[in-house]
């Protein structure tokens, strides 16, 4: 039997017959989820077969030490792995690597190698899960039963938020690209839960109740969300329409210029076609001018792409526009976004500014497009009239 199948059977039986029922989170289901997560990373990071085997074996054993309690379980898990693999005549150097990978799953350990980063990310894949709230609640129940420590809802959500924002980060490129956005969604959800509880804790105050009524009257949250969503959608659609119109003008005038250069201009050097010189150049110039204005309507604006912490503290930067952060390090941007999400006024004002500046961009695009269509129309009409006059004058 393959070593991976043997280990899987061993870990399954270990959890089934040895692990106490009080471990509602660190059980076989969690181990299996970590194994699936590391396989996903292996595929995404394109890890070779030998290293992939070591990672998967390490994941199977990384929480095996819980059969004798949670304290120092990584060390006991590493020892269990060594004991089992030695009986299977597994290479000693590979066993040592597996032990070091298991120890790398300790919460405060900073991974040093690529494989350590992979197993570290796999162990915390639940932070990017759609079922994160369920896994967090299972962990809460386990801590209560095993460590006799109870948390209020607010304390638990704050502890989770501190873990996700301050104590954890993903290390592999695959996790950063695919799991980080999902983790950030869970951070936002946790922030909402914290705010809801904090609001409920003070809503007995008459002053708060009056303020809440006024806020609901002045600013209905659901209506605001709908307004932002619809307005942003309309702005985006209008921008797409403007770009499409500009592309149409570019294509049409490019064709006109090609036809003029290949079909008309070569024939203007003969005496019998001299009357077509002015109409041809009117058409050519009007097409070139139209193309220039169409390009100007789609020309992007160059921005600095960076900001300072002072800008964030002073609420001066729009973090929703890529042009303000594309040169900033990921950790700095995450910090800035979390700071913005903590401040409701800053968040809403940023969204309002985003819509405002989108409107300015749209105004510039449509103003230039209006000029472009006007020039194209005038040039086309002038060219047709010039050709008609040229043909008529040539006949007589």
List pLDDT tens digits, range 43-61: 999 999 999 999 999 999 9
Structure-token pair, residue 239: 């921008």
User: According to the model, what pLDDT value does residue 200 have?
Assistant: 81
Which pLDDT band, with edges at 50, 70 and 90, does 295 fall under? Answer: confident
Mean pLDDT lowest among 97-106, 127-136, 240-249, 306-315: 306-315
User: According to the model, what pLDDT value does residue 221 have?
Assistant: 63
382 in Cβ contact with 290 (< 8 Å): no
List pLDDT tens digits, range 265-276: 777 666 666 777
Which has more pLDDT, 55 or 253? 55
User: According to the model, what pLDDT value does residue 69 have?
Assistant: 87
Percent of the chain with pLDDT over 90: 44
Percent of the chain with pLDDT over 70: 90
Is residue 219 predicted with pLDDT exceeding 60?
Answer: no
Which has more pLDDT, 139 or 226? 139
List pLDDT tens digits, range 104-156: 999 889 999 999 999 999 999 999 999 999 999 999 999 999 888 899 999 99
Which 3-state string (H, E, C) describes 328-390?
CCHHHHHHHHHHHHHCHHHHHHHHHHHHHHHHHHHHHHHHHHHHHHHHHHHHHHHHHHHHHHH
> Mean pLDDT: which of 9-18, 340-349, 355-364 is highest?
9-18
Residues in the chain: 396
pTM listed for this prediction: 0.52
User: According to the model, what pLDDT value does residue 95 have?
Assistant: 94
Structure-token pair, residue 92: 């000693």
Which pLDDT band, with edges at 50, 70 and 90, does 183 fall under? Answer: very high
User: According to the model, what pLDDT value does residue 210 have?
Assistant: 66
81 in Cβ contact with 99 (< 8 Å): yes
User: What average pLDDT score do residues 259-264 get?
Assistant: 75
Is residue 80 predicted with pLDDT exceeding 80?
Answer: yes
Number of H helices and number of E strands within the chain?
A: 16, 0
């Amino acid at each position: 039997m393959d070593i991976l199948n043997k280990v899987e059977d061993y870990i399954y039986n270990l959890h089934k017959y040895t692990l106490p029922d009080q471990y509602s989170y660190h059980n076989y289901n969690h181990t299996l989820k970590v194994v699936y997560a590391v396989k996903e990373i292996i595929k995404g990071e394109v890890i070779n077969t030998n290293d992939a085997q070591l990672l998967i074996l390490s994941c199977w054993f990384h929480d095996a030490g819980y059969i004798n309690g949670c304290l120092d379980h990584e060390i006991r898990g590493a020892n269990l792995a060594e004991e089992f693999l030695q009986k299977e005549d597994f290479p000693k150097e590979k066993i040592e690597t597996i032990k070091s990978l298991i120890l790398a799953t300790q919460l405060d350990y900073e991974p040093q190698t690529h494989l350590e980063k992979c197993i570290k990310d796999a162990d915390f894949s639940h932070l990017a899960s759609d079922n994160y709230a369920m896994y967090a609640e299972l962990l809460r129940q386990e801590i209560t039963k095993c460590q006799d420590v109870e948390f209020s809802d607010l304390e638990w959500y704050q502890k989770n938020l501190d873990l996700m924002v301050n104590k954890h980060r993903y290390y592999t490129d695959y996790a950063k690209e695919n799991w980080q956005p999902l983790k950030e969604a869970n951070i936002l959800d946790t922030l909402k839960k914290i705010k809801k509880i904090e609001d409920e804790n003070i809503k007995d105050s008459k002053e708060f109740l009056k303020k809440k009524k006024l806020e609901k009257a002045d600013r209905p949250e659901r209506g605001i969300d709908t307004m932002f969503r619809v307005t942003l959608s309309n702005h985006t659609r209008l921008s797409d329409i403007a770009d499409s119109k500009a592309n149409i003008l570019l294509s049409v005038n490019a064709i006109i210029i090609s036809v003029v250069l290949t079909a008309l201009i070569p024939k203007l050097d003969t005496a019998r076609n001299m009357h077509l010189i002015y109409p041809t150049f009117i058409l050519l110039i009007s097409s070139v001018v139209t193309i220039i204005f169409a390009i100007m309507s789609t020309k992007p604006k160059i921005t600095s792409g960076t900001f300072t912490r002072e800008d964030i503290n002073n609420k001066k930067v729009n973090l929703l526009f890529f042009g303000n952060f594309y040169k900033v390090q990921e950790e700095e941007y995450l910090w800035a976004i979390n700071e913005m999400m903590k401040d409701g006024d800053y968040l809403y004002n940023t969204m309002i500014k985003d819509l405002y500046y989108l409107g300015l961009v749209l105004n510039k695009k449509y103003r230039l497009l209006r000029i472009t269509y006007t020039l194209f129309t005038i040039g086309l009409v002038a060219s047709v009239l010039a050709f008609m006059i040229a043909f008529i004058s040539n006949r007589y």
